[in-house]
Amino acid sequence: MHPQAEGFASGLVDAALRAALAASARVPVFGLSGLQGTGKSTLAAQMVALAQTQGRRAVVLSLDDLYLPRGERQQLARQVHPLLATRGPPGTHDVALGCALLDALRAGEPVQLPRFDKLADDRLPLSQGESVEGAVDLVIVEGWCLGVPAEPESALEAPLNTLEREEDAQAIWRRYCNAALARDYPALWQRLDGLWFLQPPGFEVVVDWRWQQEQALARAQGRDALMDREGVARFVQHFERVSRQVLRTLPAIADHVIPLDAQRHPR
């Protein structure tokens, strides 16, 4: 069983909700950042449930649901680099949509939150998303690279894994992703009134955690896993560069850091 299947301790959830609601903004936007498998969506869901018991209305926007539709990523793959067909890294999100949604939620305007179907690798029609009408008290944004800054250009020269070495030898893909991170994403990060970071013990645990996620998702949907462990290891290499940048920078950027052990338990 996933170590976070039963959720985080109530004290941590309560502390996170109190921190989120303490922001001076009329409708606070609270960020939860953490690498794949750290429990961001679990903590966000628990915060929403706790808020409801207190008579408050909270909604969650996941960075994953802002992935570009498959057709747009395939176009980027043809025009820029084949690796851009794979969802996840900076440059494969609709950041402008995320900013517009946050602004509308703050203003109390009705919105339709997007949903991304990872099994189909495509964004669902808006009609299948969550409708939010009326005022909300809190917006929680969760994402694997939330708040991370871009790397210096000099850091992009040398490949750091097999994927970059064999499939991005000219550094076109990683430079594109880094440029998007520097150009587009700060507008979204600046809309956060607070940011907590779920910090894993290191990048090395991410493959195991992502493999566990893949198995759990397959069991929940009554199907075989879409990727074997080797496939998961390759998939995670798409995220390694930015993940290591997250680990280097987020502890000094986030308002609060929650260190996790190898079993995802807060230390």
| Spatial distance between the Cα atoms of 167 and 103, rounded to a whole number of angstroms | 38
Residue 154: which pLDDT band, with cuts at 50, 70 and 90? very high
- Which of 59-73, 92-106, 209-223 is the least confident region? 209-223
Residue bearing the bigger pLDDT, 229 or 98: 98
pLDDT at 2 (0 to 100): 45
Bridge partner list, 266 = 260
Nearest to 238 by CA among 88, 25, 24: 88
Percentage of the chain with pLDDT > 70? 95
Is 134 a residue whose pLDDT tops 50?
yes
Residue 103 tokens, joined? 């602004």
Residue 4: predicted pLDDT = 53
With a pLDDT cut of 90, the percent of the chain lying above it is 80
Asked whether the predicted pLDDT for residue 218 surpasses 80, the reply is no
Question: In the prediction, which pLDDT does 224 show?
Answer: 64
**What mean pLDDT is predicted for residues 154-170?**
97
- Token output for 109: 């305007």
| Banded model confidence at residue 225, pLDDT cuts 50, 70, 90 | low
Residue-averaged pLDDT of the chain:
93
pLDDT at residue 214 in the model: 72
Amino acid identity of residue 262, one-letter, is A
Residue 194, strand partner residues? 30
Domains of the chain: 10-257 (3.40.50.300)
End-to-end CA distance of the chain: 19
**pLDDT tens figures, 49-78:** 999 999 999 999 999 999 999 999 999 999
Give the separation between CA 110 and CA 71, rounded to whole angstroms: 27
- Radius of gyration for the alpha carbons in the chain, expressed in angstroms and rounded: 18
Can you give the pLDDT at residue 40? 95
